[in-house]
Structure formats: structure tokens, C-alpha cells
Structure 1
Amino acid sequence: MNIDLTMVIVYFVIIFLVGIYKSGKQKKDAESYFLSGRSLRWPAIAMSTIATNIQAGHFIGMGGAAYVYGLAWANFEIDAVFGILLATFFFVPLYLKMKVFTITQFFEIKFGSFVALSYSIFSLILFGIIYMGGALYWGSYAINGIFADELTLLDTFRKLVENLFEISLNPVTFRLYIIVVFMGVFSSLYVYFGGLAAVVRTDIIQLITLLGGASIVLVLAVKAIGGFSELYNPANYPDITTGRDHLMHLFLPSDHSKVPWPAVFFGMALLHIQYWGANQVILQRALAARSLKDAQIGLIVGGFLKYVFAALIIIPPIALVGFYKPLEDPDQAYIVLVNTLLSPGVRGFVIMGLFASLMSTVDSIINSVSTLFTFDIYKKLINKDASDENLMKMGKKSIPFITLSGIMFAFALIYIKYHGFNLPLSLITNEISYHIKAGYTILVLAAVFCTNAPRKLVVFVFIGSAVVSLAFKYFVFPDMNWLNRTGWVIVIGYAILAIVSYLSPGKKVKWKDLFIVDSRQVGYFGIVLAVSLVVLNVLFR
């Protein structure tokens, strides 16, 4: 057993022990299990939130896209700051004021039980299946690519299964299936015992590990291409297809098929509102904040961390284009970097970081989806008088089913990847989820800014947005960029609700009453974050 694999195994053991630490002494009530007793301070909120957000799919999937499209793919990270700022000063203060466990409960207060139930069901599908399956897929893809030689034991097991059932199995996909099952089950175990407190404890360790490992790859990749200035040298990109002279441009031509610059400020920006403002998986730490100040500072610090990870994820694959032979599969970019640039031991540390990104995402999804199911389905529809003990038991019982759902979707992604699909797979998973996310964005904007919108109309627009999105894709605007298409769905849906809300009787909402800042210090931090977003867009345009 080599040193890299040994380091990874030891890391798994440490994470598991940290996860279950003090689980037996934890208070036996729902608030402690699902929201860590609403006691989180801003450093924990910042680190755990970003650890949840950054997954192996960012390094493998986004890295593959960056290898092809360059810095433009960093917009998915950098422009997240727009959504973070709205969540910090408009959405999260309302959630904390209402002391909700889930975002669904907020929507129920605003729009009634049907909208809330619809949101919850869509969320269970989006997070428990698509997000979790995607995270497990990318993790297995990375593990198999890096540890191909060390996984010969799985080939022995495969042959045993083939002989036992008299079937023929693909060696690569079989290894991926086994890895997916292992990672899903492993991550679910410490969530089962420790709840959100376990997730936050492990996330902090995993973020630090991830930052360290990814920083090493960034430094070595830039050194390999000849320094930072060489990233801007057109001679390093002879086969560039973006329409620009090098890959270090944030903005691509307006007619680019994947990330045209208008889409960055339109569809992409609007979708960040949903991800950071109405996402149970991301906002569960903010909901568990000790105070509004902790929640707001935690999210703002998280915004600055997004800049850091934009560099860590996107720049190394760009550098790879300049110093390595062309890759047939762009998704191999980060794996090639790890296997090419790193020596034993250092390689193990970086691999630990990749595992950290996977586990921190999967454990958070499991915890949040369990919370959604327990409060929005079980307590609301099955056992309205459930005690805290009943809620905790049901939350734990739901974990195996959530894990299984994510595993099955990961299996589907593996099948797609290894049956003739050659483009970066993140494009497909994004498009699938955005049919749902458009409705989420409309819903959260309407809940905050359209207080007089009729509930039946909200239901119609929310459900109808997915139908309109599909119609736009397959019938009306099949050639339109997917971000722009989703942006138009959001604009049309929200415009309908905003106009009707304005014309309806009742007290009109005032923006100044919705913009909530805990203190002047928090306001200054927010201004700095907002200005930095503008500066980065100008500098790297």
C-alpha cells in the first residue's frame, strides 16, 4: 500500500471519529440535531457553507469546462457573490426572524401549504437525487482516475461477481459503482449519529484540507506553464475555440454557445439568487446561526472564499492547456494535474482535499434533505403531533433512503458518461436542474418582494415555470443558450407576479424595510464585497 492511499485511509478514519465525537452527549431535541441548537458562529457558518458548496464536481467537472472554455467558467463562482449579497441582506434576516427550520416553512407562511409542499417535493428531487448523485459521481470519477492501479482488488471482486452470476461487467464502471456506494454510505454514517453538528465539525476540517491541497496544485500548475504571465500568452493556446486570444477572459463573445457574456449578467445572475437565497442545503448553517450578525458575516466571508476557489478550480486546468498534450476527455484535466505534478505524499494530501470536497457536500445534502423530509413531509402530513424524539427518529430513518436515491442517480450518470457521451457532464446536470431552479428563483423573489400576489397565481406561475422552461428548450427557443433561456423564464414569471401584486389592494412593500443590516460593520463588509465583484469583472473582462 503506497503512502498516498495510506494517507487517504487515515483521513477517512479521522473524519469519521470527528463526525461522531460527542454525538452521544448531544441534546435529544430536534433543534439540536437538525440546526445544532441555533448556536453557530460566523467562522463555522462561512467555512461549512463553502465546504458544502464546493464539491469534487467543481474540480473535475468545472475543471474540464475551464480546460475548454477558460476563465469564463469562473463566472459560476465569482458571480455567486451577487446571490450571496441578496441572501445576506434580504432573505436570511426574514428566515431568522420567523425562526423556521426549513425554507419550505417560510414559503408556507407566505403562500400557503400547497406552494410549500410543491417546493419541498421539488427540493427532495433536486437535492436528494440530482445534487447528491452528481457529487457522488464526480467523487468516484476522481478516485478511480487517481487510484486506478491501487484498485485492482475491486477487479478481483468484479471477476467473482461475473463468475457467480454468469454476466460480463465493464471494469471501469464496476469500480465506479463500488466507490459511489462506499462514499455514500460512509458519509451518511456520521450524519446519522451527529446531525448538523457533526456536519459542521467535519466541514471545517475538510475546508482547510481542501484549501491546502488545491493551493499546492495551483502553485505547481502556474510554475509548470512558466509563471502567471504565461497564462495570457496566446501561443500557449493554439487550438483555442472561445473566440478570444487566450483563456484568461471572464467574458466570451455574445454568440458563444455555452457562456456568452450577456448570459453571465442575465440568466446566471438570476439563478444565483435561487442557489444562495432559497437553497436548504446551503442555508441550513445560516438558519442555525447564533445571531443575525453571525449569519450575515458568515455569508459575506463565504463570498470572499468564493473568489479564492474560483482561482483554485479554474486556473490550474487553463495552465494545463499550455504545458501538456491535448486531452481527449476534458474532465480528466484535474486528475492529470494531480498525477503529473505531484510527488508521493504531497499527492496524498491533495487527494485528501478532493475527498474532503466530496464528503462535505454529500453529508450536508443528506442532513438538509433529511430535515426537509422530516419537517415538510412527516410532521406536516403524516404525524402532525410528532414529538422531538419522533422527529429525530424519522430524520435518522430517512437517511438510508436519501443515500440510496443519490447512489442510483450517480449510477445513471456513470452509464451516460461511459456510453459515448464526450462533452463535460456538468453541462447536462446543470440543464436538468435549471428547469426546476427557475421556479425556485421566481418563488423566493415573490415571497420577499411581491407580498400582495394572489396565492393561486403564485402556484400557477411556480408550477408552470418548469413547463415553460421545457417548452422553451424543445419547441420555442431550442437554439437559445440555456442560461438565457432560463433567465427569460424567471423574468416572465416574476414580472407577472410583480405586476399583479402592485395592482392588487393591500400594503405595498418598501425595499428599505426589507434591506436589513445587523450593524454598520456588517454593512461595510457587504459594500467591500459588492465593490470587489465589480472590480474583478472589470480587471478580467
Structure 2
Amino acid sequence: MALNVPGLIAVIVFYTLTLATGLWAAWKAKKNEQKNRQTEIAIVGGRNLNVFVGLFTTTATWVGGAYINGTAEIVYLPSRGLAWVHAPLGFAITFIIGGLFFVKPMRSKKYVTMMDPLQEKFGQTMGSILFIPPLLGDVFWFASILASLNATVRVILDVNGYLSIIISACTVILYTLLGGLYSVAYTDVIQLIFIVFSLWICVPFALLNSASENIAYTAVRDLYQGPWLGEIQPSHIARWLDDLAYLGIGGVAWQIYFQRILAASSSRQAILTSYASGFLSAVMGVPSILIGAVAASTDWNQTSYGLPTPNERGESNMILPLVLQYLCPTFVSVAGLGAIAAAVMSSADSSLLSSSSMFAYNIYKKLLRKKASDREVICVMRLTMVLLGTAGMGLAFLSSSIYDLWFLSGELVYALLFPQLCCALFISSTNTYGSAAGFIVGLVLRLLGGEQSLKIPPLLHYPGCTLIDGVYVQLFPFKTFTMLVSLTTIVIVSYLAQVMFMKKVLPVHWDISKVFRKEILHHSQHELQEQEALQQN
């Protein structure tokens, strides 16, 4: 197979257009710096994103390379099928929950990042520790979506995908570094348009290819890869619900969501944007579902790909680019490559901006250098982008395990960060000691639960833990269980700490986080004054 020259030209044109849009948005942000603070311009776009841009950037961030490729792969896999596709429904749930419960309390105090309420409630040090799970999640996510582009370029253009990883990472870092949220938001508009039109152009050609059976027929009949609708066995229902809760509820506790919510010009606009983005994100999964169904309905022996099938070759993770390459005309596969490249960049820039924003604003400015100027914070933010982007680019070359690492770090965000955020916003009685206890308990429970994809055996066997193909699999909803235990621990330990310090069961000098010290001293002075008044009388 020779180098696909038209495809290469199309990719170059797309990258040039994206970079030009990002640089224009950076210039627009520079103009607004005279009227607004530099930090808020870079992180939340001056809080003036309109509905159109807000909707596109929020949707494009979720509809990334992993979402597009992963959805098609799960539909195609004989052991999974459509029944196990959680992402479209899960993302819709994320935006509904966010719009209903989290938008107003986050915007009412004009927070800049998701870490602000955590540091405000639990202190700067504890808030900084809570930064670790989303940091790992963003870096692994950046790497996993770059790796998905690597696989696509290797299949469609027949070139070494490593070069595409480097070029994509450098392009994303450059325009994100220069323009902050403005560049990310406006390039997301271009990228989402590419995704919508490019993927939908591919679908009819794949459906009508002579090597593929009618997907309505193969949905319930076993022909080539098994019925692509899939099924949920009764013993797996709890695990299915656990995965859905992880994506739906855990998806709220990410800076990439709040960055866009806080950038909207009003709370009403932010809520409407959240709901509309949930609907649009779910709809964007339809092309990938259809492509996965086509792949499961294809007699690959009738294509130039031949036998064995992609599943038998261990290439299920590349099923979307394989369908584009072998079941679609060249110009259509090139369009599909543009869609995947757009999806990759729309999520990659958001992950970079997310972690660099929290580090520069919440760690550097609030903990390390409280007197840092806006210009200094921006410089730190840009340096962090380069470092995190470089780390993610390096990890992308280890694509076989990066997606699993991202999934595990995402579970840590669900189990550890979501309960903390709920307590910081909605349960006023919680404190630093409860936060620390909840973090430790949640982390230990999650690690003891093991991880099948990373071949980490479970040390804690929950009810229903089953040996499948020589590997123990947790069928119990242990991710949600861990999250609930972490939440409960925060509340109970916070209450116990308050009672024991205020009742003086524990000495005041043990209050190392200084949560109750002022209140205890004030209460002691008040008691002393009352005793003196009684003695005088």
C-alpha cells in the first residue's frame, strides 16, 4: 500500500486551518486583556462566551478520539455490542446532573477553577492533594487520544503515526499556549463541524458496501462477528450500572466541564449549554455506532483486508479507521481521517488547558507564591502546558496501556474527587479531617479492587467476584460503592472531629489543620468572661 497523497494534503489543510483559527482566537484574547484580568481571560475566557461557541466547545471536548473510536470498537466486539456502549447515555447524564445541581453553586461565588471550592472548604494543602487524580486523568487522556490518531493515520495514510502524534501535540500546545480558553473554544467550533460532516459522509458508503450485510438483519443474527446489539446477562447488570454511573456521575468532577460552565456569560446560559451539550454529545455517538455495526456485519474475506478478521488479529481498537479504509472510497476515508483528527485535537487542547489552569492558579498562586502577578501566573500556566503536553506525547507511544491508565485515573476522580466536590458545595459541616479520611479510604478501596485491563488482581473480593479466563472480575458495582464509602467517610469523620475537638476530648494543639482552633479559643475566652462576670456578681 502506497502513501495516500490526497489524504496527506487534506490533513495538512485541516491542521493549517485549525492553527490559523487558534492564532486568531489568541489575538482576540490579547485585545480583551486591556479590559479584563489576564488570568480570567486565559482560564475562563473573560466569562463572556456566547451560547453558540459555548455549546460547540463543550460538545467537542467530550466527543474526542477515544469516544469516536471506542464506541465503534465496543459495538463491533462480539463479547460486548451496543448494549455495552455507555458513553452517549453517560455523557448526557453528566450534563443533566451538572446543569441541575452544580452550575449555580459554582457560578454564584465566581470560582475560576473546580479546585477553588475544594481549597476554600478543606484548605490549600488538602486541595492540592485532591489535584493529583484529575492531573493524572488529563495527562493519560491527552496521551490516549493522541494514540488513537496514531492508529488511524497508520491505517489510512500508510505512514508512521508517530509523526502525526508529534505534529498534533505541537499544534495543540502552540495555539492553547497562546490563546488559552479563547483558542480552545474557537478551534473547537471548527473541529466539531469537521467531525459532524466527515463522519456522516462515511456512514452511507459503509452501509451500502457489498461486503456488508444489512445491519438490521445482523443486529439479532449471528453471521460474522455475532449480533452487534449485544446483551446484558443478569449476572452483569450490577457491573453495567456501575460503569454507567461512573461515566454519568463521575464525569461531572472534571475541570474541562466547569471551565466552560464558568466561562458562560450567565448562569441561565450555562445551564442551557449544559443540557444542549448533553443531547448533542449523545447524538454524536450515532455514526460510530453505525460504523461498528457495519464492521460486525462485514465479511472481511470479501475486502482487500482479508482474513482473519480484525477481532482475530487483535485490531478491534482500530475498527473505525479499518472500516473507513476498506469499506469506503478514498476521498471518504480521507474525510473520516479529518473527523478523527478533529476529535483528537478538540479533546487534547482541553485536557492541557484543564490541568495547567488548576496548577498555575490553585497550586502556584494560592499555595506556592501568593503574591504572584497575573503575568507570572500565565507564564507558569504556559510552561505547565509544555511539560504536560510533552509528557502526554511521550506516553502516547505506549498506546497499548494508556487508555486503560486513563480509565483507571478517571475512576479515581469518580471515587475520590466527586464526593469531595459534593461535600464542599452542599454539606457545610464537612472539614479537612473528613476530607483526608475520605481520600485515603477511597484510594485504598479502589486499589484493593484491582483492575482487569491492567492485569492488577483484586485483593479485596466483593460479592460476585468471578474467575473468568483465569482472571478475577468484579461483577459487584465496586466503583460506585467506593465512591459512596468515601462520601460517607468524609461526613462521619468530619462530624466526629468537630465533636471531639469542640468537646475538648482532643487537645486543641492536635488541630494541626487549624480547623477548630479559632472557634475553640473564642469559645474558651467567652466561657472565661462568663466565669469572671459570675465571680464579680
Q: Which residue of 2 aligns with 1:87?
A: 98
* Partners of 2:14 and 2:338 within 8 A in 1: yes
Pairing 1:281-300 to 2, within 5 Å after superposition: 281-300=256-275
Aligned to 2:20: 17
Aligned AA (1:357): A
Are the aligned partners of 2:434 and 2:491 in contact in 1 as well (CA < 8 Å)? no
Counterparts in 2 of 1:22 and 1:311: CA distance versus 1, 3 Å: closer
| Structure 1 position 366 matched with structure 2 position 352 | yes
Instruction: Name the CA shift for 1:393/1:429 in 2 (closer, same or farther; >3 Å).
Output: closer
Q: What are structure 2's unaligned runs of at least 5 residues?
A: 301-308, 451-457, 466-471, 500-537
Do the aligned partners of 1:19 and 1:191 also contact (CA within 8 Å) in 2? yes
The structure 2 residue matched to 1:445, chosen from 422, 429, 432, is 422
Q: Is the 8 A contact 2:19 2:175 kept in 1?
A: yes
1:457, CA displacement in angstroms?
1.5
Aligned residue in 1 for 2:208? 223
For the 8 Å contact 1:62–1:426, the answer to whether it is kept is no
Deviates more, 1:309-318 or 1:192-201: 309-318
Q: Report the AA paired with residue 262 of structure 1.
A: A
The one of 398, 402, 407 aligned to 1:430 = 407
For the pair 1:463 / 2:472, whether they are aligned, the reply is no
Residues 1:322 and 2:297 aligned together: yes
Query: Map of 1:305-320 to 2, 5 A cutoff?
Result: 305-320=280-295
User: Partners of 1:483 and 1:404 in 2: how far apart?
Assistant: 38
Pick closer, same or farther for the CA change 1:100–1:394 going to 2, 3 Å: same
Match of 1:39 in 2: 48
SS at match of 1:234: coil
Instruction: Provide the rounded CA distance (Å) in 2 between the counterparts of 1:285 and 1:85.
Output: 15
For residues 54-453 of structure 1, the aligned pairs below 5 Å read 54-68=63-77, 69-127=80-138, 129-148=139-158, 151=159, 175-224=160-209, 225-227=212-214, 229-237=216-224, 239-240=225-226, 246-249=227-230, 252-255=232-235, 260-275=236-251, 277-325=252-300, 326-327=309-310, 328=313, 329-413=315-399, 426-427=403-404, 429-453=406-430
After superposition, where does 1:468-487 map in structure 2 within 5 Å?
Answer: 468-473=445-450, 474-477=458-461, 479-481=472-474, 484-487=477-480
SS in 1 for 2:228: coil
Deviation track 1:36-85 (CA, whole Å, cap 9, x = no partner) reads 11111222222111211122222333322221111023222212222221
Distance 1:490 1:317 in 2: 32
Please report the TM-score for the alignment, with normalisation by the length of structure 2: 0.80
Contact 1:267 1:488 in 2 (8 A): no
Unaligned runs of 5+ in 1: 152-174, 241-245, 417-424, 507-541
Stretch deviating more after TM superposition (301-310 or 430-439)? 430-439
Check whether the contact 2:434–2:493 (CA below 8 A) recurs between aligned residues. no
Larger Rg: 2
Letter in 2 for 1:253: Q
Q: CA deviation at 1:433?
A: 3.5
Cα displacement string for residues 445-492 of structure 1 (whole angstroms, at most 9, x for unaligned residues): 323343212320221112331121111222112634378221221122
SS of 1:345's equivalent in the other structure is: helix
Q: Is the 8 A contact 2:200 2:287 kept in 1?
A: yes
- Secondary structure of 2:145's counterpart equals helix
Give 1:458's aligned amino acid.
S
Number of residue pairs the alignment of both structures matches? 459
> 1:499 offset after TM fit, Å?
5.4
Q: Is the 8 A contact 1:45 1:299 kept in 2?
A: no
Counterparts in 2 of 1:309 and 1:435: CA distance versus 1, 3 Å: same
TM-score when normalising by structure 1: 0.79
Moved more, 263-272 or 496-505: 496-505
When structure 1 is superposed on structure 2, of 116-125 and 368-377 the one drifting more is 116-125
CA contact (8 A) 1:33 1:196 kept: yes
Larger helix proportion, structure 1 or 2? 1
**Structure 1 residue 102: deviation in Å?**
0.8
Q: Within 1, Cα distance between the matches of 2:388 and 2:409? A: 19
Residue identity opposite 1:390 in structure 2: E
Instruction: Give me the whole-angstrom Cα distance separating, in 1, the residues matched to 2:69 and 2:323.
Output: 11
* CA distances 1:316-355 after superposition (whole Å, capped 9, x unpaired): 1122111232212211211111102322333222211110
Q: How far apart are 1:181 and its partner, in Å?
A: 2.0
Query: Quick one: which amino acid aligns to residue 446 of structure 1?
Result: C
CA RMSD of aligned residues (A): 2.4
Residue 524 of structure 2 is matched in structure 1 by none
* Residue 15 (structure 2) pairs with residue 4 (structure 1): no
* Percentage identity across paired residues of the two chains: 21
